[in-house]
Amino acid sequence: MHEGKPSQTALRVATHRAAHQLLDRPKVLDDPVALDMLGPERAQALRADPRSSETSVIARYMRAFVAARSRLAEDELGRAMERGVGQYVVLGAGLDTFALRNPHPPEALKIFEVDFPATQAWKWELMAQAGLAAPDSLTYVPLDFHRQTLAQGLERAGHDATRPSFFSWLGVAPYLVPEAVRATLGFIASCPKGSGVVFDYMIDPKGMSLWERLLLKGIGAVTKASGEPLRSHFEPAALAGELDALGFSQTRDLDQAAINGLYFSGREDGLGVGRMSHIMVGWV
Ligand SMILES: C[S@@+](CC[C@H](N)C(=O)[O-])C[C@H]1O[C@@H](n2cnc3c(N)ncnc32)[C@H](O)[C@@H]1O
């Protein structure tokens, strides 16, 4: 991340979510504020030409993946709440809009958005431009996963560590060193019973085709140029084993077939996710 600058990858995925609202039917993620969150000029440009978001050969796959992972996180949050979870921690929230669409009152669900201070300040500017106010249920937690512990950041923000929480961690693990990914998973595993997590990660390039490895190289070059180099990838079975060893149960690893089966089956437009990233769900 360029010091003091907002995350460009956050803008990129938010643009995919907004484009999904305009281009895809049926929608996998219904997000009425996704466009507004981009700020008036970007929103207007995207409305005028939604395909302008398709800047690479993998743009459709990325759009599908970004929509699916948010949808899965929100579906799993619903399940967690049915079991009594009342705290939702959005790790590396970027321009995530769930807090603005949250149908639950603050007594039922408190939301904590964790991200770099510069990305949070930029999000507030965009929200102000769009006339979107932060709801009472939302608390911002400024933090760098590489420099501070999540436990300290959340404690300072008033998170109740004695009660279970649900964590979403979308599009963040690939930008962290493996130790930081493991430290965060370790922290979540130490949370009270009933806590859970949804996160996505990049698979080991050794498991990719030559074509996918070339694509990955291109993606890595673009994110590196914006100060967000790709830093970790995992082998799915080994990662699931690590979660089990940390004390997670009902660990579920969703690959391309599982994600497409869940959210993209029977579509006429052929929209679906690619193979390079998986989504993992685990419960404490
Ligand atoms: C690709 S964006 C994903 C944003 C959001 N989760 C979404 O799906 O729209 C990655 C986010 O992780 C945040 N991030 C990356 N590295 C971080 C770190 N070391 N500490 C805190 N936040 C970080 C970035 O600022 C950015 O908002």
- pLDDT of 122 over the 90 cut: yes
Residues above pLDDT 90, as percent of the chain = 97
Q: What percent of the chain has pLDDT over 70?
A: 99
* Ligand 1 pocket mutation, candidates 126, 172, 231, criterion most atoms within 8 A of CB: 172
CB atoms within 10 A of CB 56: 12
Cβ < 6 Å from ligand 1: which residues?
7, 9-10, 13-14, 92-96, 115-116, 119, 143-146, 170-172, 175-176
Given the CA of residue 91, which atom of ligand 1 is nearest to it? 6
Which pLDDT does position 4 carry in this prediction? 78
Which of 5, 7, 70, when mutated, tests ligand 1's pocket best, judged by the most ligand atoms within 8 Å of its CB? 7
Q: What's the pLDDT band for 1 if we cut at 50, 70, 90?
A: low
> What is the per-residue pLDDT for 57?
86
Each residue's pLDDT tens digit, 223-270: 999 999 999 999 999 999 999 999 999 999 999 999 999 999 999 999
Q: Is the confidence at residue 129, as pLDDT, over 70?
A: yes
**Cis check: omega of the bond before 6, within 30 degrees of 0:** no
51-58 long-range contacts, CB within 8 A, separation 24+: 51/23, 53/15, 53/16, 53/18, 53/19, 54/19, 56/218, 57/215, 58/215, 58/219, 58/274
- 177-211 pLDDT, tens per residue? 999 999 999 999 999 999 999 999 999 999 999 99
268 Cα to the center of ligand 1, angstroms: 32
Task: Tell how far the Cα of 184 is from the centroid of ligand 1, in angstroms.
Answer: 14
Segment 119-135 mean pLDDT: 97
What average pLDDT score do residues 85-113 get?
Answer: 97
Mean pLDDT of 82-108: 97
Question: Per-residue pLDDT tens for 35-72?
Answer: 999 999 999 999 999 999 998 889 999 999 999 999 99
Cα end-to-end distance, the chain, whole Å = 31
Residue nearest to atom 12 of ligand 1 (CA): 92
Rounded to the nearest angstrom, the distance between the alpha carbon of 179 and the centre of ligand 1 is 16
Q: Could you tell me which CATH class the domain 8-283 is placed in?
A: alpha beta
Distance 6 CA to ligand 1 centre (A): 10
Distance CA 91, CA 167 (A): 7
Ligand 1 centroid to residue 67 C-alpha, Å: 16
On average, the pLDDT of the chain sits at: 96
Residue 117 Rama label (left phi>0; alpha psi -120 to 50; beta):
alpha
pLDDT over threshold 90, residue 3: no
